[in-house]
Structure 1
């Protein structure tokens, strides 16, 4: 299992479009993917799970990957979240 904390920089947070993009990319990987904020942990392959975390600008969230392609998944998803600037 690998994990990295990222800060949401998008001024509108991780709203529907970026959340949908995150889920699409997540589904390309065989490993399990989760996002964790405070005490809430949600499946990274579920749009409803992501949106329910309420990730606003400045929120810190852990991206967690667990499985055979975990390192590649983590790097890809961290870079994806960092690319959401607008």
Structure 2
């Protein structure tokens, strides 16, 4: 199983817009991905699941996937989480 651990960079953590963007990106992948914080693990495609993790800025989450394309899927999601999506939204406004 492929894994990546990444610190959440968005100012609001995995809440509101950053969570929406993360879940949308995960939904486009052909491989199922789970995201874990502590002992809790949820499907990356589940908005309610991702929100329920309560990940704040600086939280280290672990992404896990298995199968063809797992490494690439985790690379793309880890890159997304390592950006401050809240700051990017402010620049877009």
Scaled by the length of structure 2, the TM-score of the pair is 0.85
Q: Do 1:30 and 1:67's aligned partners in 2 also have CA atoms closer than 8 Å?
A: no
Could you say what secondary structure the match of 2:9 adopts? coil
Trace 1:42-61 onto structure 2 (pairs within 5 A): 42-61=42-61
Q: Do 1:42 and 1:50's aligned partners in 2 also have CA atoms closer than 8 Å?
A: yes
Could you say what secondary structure the match of 1:83 adopts? coil
Which structure: greater strand fraction? 1
RMSD, aligned CA: 1.1
Scaled by the length of structure 1, the TM-score of the pair is 0.92
The higher radius of gyration belongs to 2
Could you say what secondary structure the match of 1:67 adopts? coil
1:17 alignment counterpart? 17
Q: Do 1:5 and 1:62's aligned partners in 2 also have CA atoms closer than 8 Å?
A: yes
Offset, 1:85: 4.8
How many residues align? The count is 86
Distance in 2 (alpha carbons) for counterparts of 1:38 and 1:18:
20
Which structure: greater helix fraction? 2
Q: Which runs of 4+ in 1 moved over 6 A?
A: none
